Structure 1
Amino acid sequence: MGHTTRSHEHPACAPLSAAQAAALLDNARALQRAAGNGDRPLPLRGKNLGLWCDDDRERSAALFRRAASELGAHVAHIRPNLGEASSLHELHDTARMLGRLYDAVECQGLPAALVERLAAEAEVPVFDGIALPQHPTALLAGQLDGDSEADDRRCWLLQAALVAAVG
């Protein structure tokens, strides 16, 4: 629970500066090398992550679950129960509950304004679609070395972002 990380403040959740992109790529490359050597570090062992989306069978939800699970985290699916019309009280209570149960939360398919409000209230990192193909981190996948599958490269970038935020 430690500190409040708003989604627009964390490098994995917003447009990346050149330095942030370089650091994320360096960490993803380290994870890629470790996987190639058969060494799978578990820096998120014991961490609980929430995946807040309507359908956890979607490709981006599965990618998030894979990235987190391969690092040792447990991922729980949360069905959205808030909307943009939700009261501030409901939002505050939900954000507090998320902060108590999870070390980070990935929101997929929720209105950006709602995710921003949750991120402002929660005391854990709140990601706004970090596993979605249009997220800024997805563009970096092509810069990873080797002939790995696109999903593998995307997974290592997600893992690097998760370790930076949670690990």
Structure 2
Amino acid sequence: MNTIYKKSFLKLSDLNYQEIIYLIKLSKFFKKKKKDKKEKKYLKGKNIVLIFEKQSTRTRCAFEVAAYDQGANTTYLSPTDTHMGYKESIHDTAKVLGKMYDGIQYRGYHDNILKKIQKYSKIPVWNGLTNTFHPTQILADLLTMTETLPKKSIQEITCAYIGDAKNNIANTLLEAANITGLKLNIISPENYWPKKNIRDIKNKKNILYTKNIEKGVYKVDFIYTDVWVSMGDKSMKWKKKIKELYDYQVNQKMLNMTKNSNVKILHCLPALHDKESTLGLKIHKKYNLKNGLEISNNVFFSKKNLCFEQSENRLHTIKALLVSCLHKKKILI
């Protein structure tokens, strides 16, 4: 029985442990079938609308290619392509889309918009990123971790998230730890820990909060980081974050602290590791940085970094999600 059929995926905790494990296994199945060019199309005739209020590279590409591979059609709506919230209510837009499409992806700012779209469209809705959660990313991260350490169960894997943990990645990793038993260390100054209402979902022994880097990274399997600043942030915010978080940069010194020669790096991208982007150049110049911001350039380009594997895995996990939500029968794998 396919228990994910017609479900929405607004946050990772919309699924239970068995459903998450099934999606990871199904992702591996689709990944192999695509590589072998033996993929069967389960979504012929399905129509999916992709609403993007925030810019995207990996999320948009992963949804579009996943849908295409499975025979579905997609419509991309940018902020300038829809009247939603401005000239037309979310209620009205969602009802219209629910009559025309089989599923809706939304990438934007507020979770209450997602919930309204789900409520009024009455079709599966998937969260491509909001300010609070990023479940499609963490699904791909869980796939990446289990692929990298095939002899370990999720409960035996330890991931350290370091830096600015008051964000959607850390929040969703906490959900993953609560559901799957993943061992998770949150490492940052206390004022950068996730908000209290997120931290207090459950108090489990597999979750550690610490500002002590050496303690937090010791013997971990993965170190995960994300950008601290974005183009929309004010310069004063940049200055404060860089001052308070620069000691938490993922670099060779930190890797040595793990005492694990096989430790790997996770990063959901984009990364400010060099001067080859407009924002990267601006920050390196303004703060006289020589070797990256949240991650050093040499570590970013080392074999330790799995960020590009994570990016590819977005395609396979999103494909597994779409098929499970829109195809009634459970795929035998």
If the length of structure 2 is used for normalisation, what is the TM-score? 0.42
Residue 17 of structure 2 is aligned to residue 18 of structure 1: yes
- Specify the code of the residue in structure 2 equivalent to 1:61: R
Separation in structure 2 between the aligned mates of residue 57 and residue 108 of structure 1, nearest angstrom: 8
Deviations 1:125-163 (A, max 9, x none): 011116xx9423232231247999433322111100000
Aligned length: 156
* CA 1:29–1:138: 2 relative to 1, 3 Å: closer
TM-aligned CA distance change 1:114 to 1:134, over 3 Å: closer
Q: How does 1:39-54 map to 2 (within 5 A)?
A: 39-54=38-53
Match for 1:158 among 312, 318, 325?
A: 318
Aligned AA (2:325): A
In the alignment, residue 14 of structure 1 is paired with which amino acid? L
1:82-136, Cα deviation, whole Å (9 max, x unpaired): 33xx79x823221111111111000011411111111011121011116xx9423
Greater shift after overlay, 108-117 or 53-62?
Answer: 53-62
Structure 2 stretches of 5 or more lacking a match? 151-305, 328-333
Q: 2: distance between equivalents of 1:117 and 1:103? A: 17
- Residue 63 (str. 1) matches residue 62 (str. 2): yes
C-alpha distance in 2 between matches for 1:161 and 1:6: 10
Tell me the residue number matched to 1:102.
101
Gaps of 5+ in 1: none
Task: Work out whether residues 53 and 79 of structure 1, in 8 Å CA contact, stay in contact via their aligned partners in 2.
Answer: yes
Q: Please give the secondary structure, in 2, of the residue aligned with 1:129.
A: strand
C-alpha change, 1:26 and 1:62, in structure 2 (3 Å) is same
Which protein is bigger by CA-based radius of gyration? 2
Aligned mates of 1:154, 1:126 — CA distance in 2 = 17
Identical positions, percent = 22
Is residue 62–residue 315 contact of structure 2 (8 Å, CA) maintained in 1?
yes
Q: Deviations over 1:23-72 (max 9, x none)?
A: 11121122122123220211111111000014676332122111111111
Alignment CA distance shift 1:92-1:4 (3 Å): farther
How far, CA to CA, are the matches of 1:153 and 1:144 in structure 2? 10
**TM-score for the superposition, normalised by structure 1:** 0.78
Does the 8 A contact of 1:7 with 1:119 survive in 2? no
CA distance in structure 2 between the aligned counterparts of 1:77 and 1:55, rounded to whole angstroms: 12
Question: 1:4·1:122 contact (CA, 8 Å) conserved in 2?
Answer: no
8 A contact 1:107–1:115 mirrored in 2: yes
Cα 1:155–1:70 change in 2 (3 A) is same
